[in-house]
Amino acid sequence: MKSREAQEQAIVISWCKMQENVYPTLKNIYAIPNGGYRNKIEAHNLKLQGVKSGVPDLHLAYPSSCYYGLYIEMKWGKNKPTENQEDWIKRLSAVGYKCEVCWSSEEAIAVIKDYLGIK
């Protein structure tokens, strides 16, 4: 069974897919699968390929307003961003990306809509 956080993220992606015909920009959203448990060899290989812990879960690669793109870190319940995640959010924000931490699919969808100016 997927975690509730993963389920909420899947709902966000599903909503984006349903809206792509009306808002083609939503085709530019993708997940960054840094979390999860992997065996040692796979984790080592992913690290060699550039996977870095703490990078936010979702990226909408589209500039809007004064931002280069949008990053969303999904959380659920009492779960909070790790120090490493907070560091990534701070660094990405400092170079022109909008970064948000969202605790539900509804909140993440609202952030995306606001970012793109969708009513």
Q: Is 14 in contact with 31 (CB distance < 8 Å)?
A: no
Question: What pLDDT is stored for residue 62 in this prediction?
Answer: 98
- CATH number of the structural domain spanning residue 104: 3.40.1350.10
Give residue 47's domain range. 4-116
Q: How many angstroms separate the CA atoms of 99 and 58, rounded? A: 10
Helices (H), the chain: 4-19, 40-48, 83-94, 105-116
Within 10 A of 46 (CB to CB), how many other CB atoms are there? Answer: 14
Question: What pLDDT is stored for residue 51 in this prediction?
Answer: 82
Question: What pLDDT is stored for residue 88 in this prediction?
Answer: 97
Number of domains in the chain: 1
Tens-digit pLDDT string for the chain (119 aa): 368 999 999 999 999 999 999 999 999 999 998 766 678 888 778 788 888 889 999 999 999 999 999 999 999 988 999 999 999 999 999 999 999 999 999 999 999 999 999 98
> Given phi > 0 = left and psi -120 to 50 = alpha, else beta, which region is 104?
beta
